Structure 1
């Protein structure tokens, strides 16, 4: 399970870096989103994947803390998803504005001459 998750995170992050190096602004934006998804997945997996375990202590009980899922990575990933959505919306608005001003979506502002 750990090997599959590690490979998935590495492939997603690698694809994000590859897209980040592309000359079009939409590809750069997609690469940033993929990299943020990979980092979110990494943070979530670092909190261990628990099956059928409560993330919080039930009222009136004091169970062994080793059997509870850690709620901190879940809270961090939820916060990162919200911030990532807002950042993506901002990048998209800037990208559309730059496309309207320059007439191209190339990251340098001009098409390369062939």
Structure 2
């Protein structure tokens, strides 16, 4: 169970980092969201996975710690608010500039404004 959990966290983190490095704003926002899910799962996993145990029982018995669950719930709410704000900013930027590229010019790096058809300068 723990190995599957670790693989899931790794896949989410790798996918999030990959999407963060793209040049479109929407994929960057999606990458941030996947990365926040990976961090939330990591925090939940650090609180020891306890399946089928009550949250609090008599003294001395094992129980599921409610603090990691509360932290993850808070992280989910904050990530949702961050994602909504980033999407609104991206839509506003798209409306103002007409481009959804992350860079300021709206062109991939290394290309000129005419599409890269100029002769190289000495």
Task: Please give the TM-score of this superposition, normalised by the length of structure 2.
Answer: 0.84
- Cα distance in 2 between the residues matched to 1:51 and 1:4: 15
- Cα distance in 2 between the residues matched to 1:81 and 1:64: 32
CA apart distance, 1:44? 0.5
Please name the residue that 1:111 is paired with. Answer: 107
Query: What's the secondary structure of 2:100's corresponding residue?
Result: coil
> Highest CA radius of gyration, 1 or 2?
2
Give the alignment's Cα RMSD to 1 decimal: 1.2
Structure 2 unmatched ranges of 5 or more? 109-114, 117-122
CA apart distance, 1:24? 0.3
Structure 1 unmatched ranges of 5 or more? none
Following TM superposition, where does structure 1 have runs of at least 4 consecutive aligned residues deviating by more than 6 angstroms? none
Please name the residue that 1:84 is paired with. Answer: 79
Please name the residue that 2:8 is paired with. Answer: 8
Higher helix share: 1
Query: What's the secondary structure of 1:49's corresponding residue?
Result: coil
The total of aligned residue pairs comes to 109
CA apart distance, 1:63? 3.3
- For the 8 Å contact 1:44–1:77, the answer to whether it is kept is yes
- Cα distance in 1 between the residues matched to 2:7 and 2:32: 19
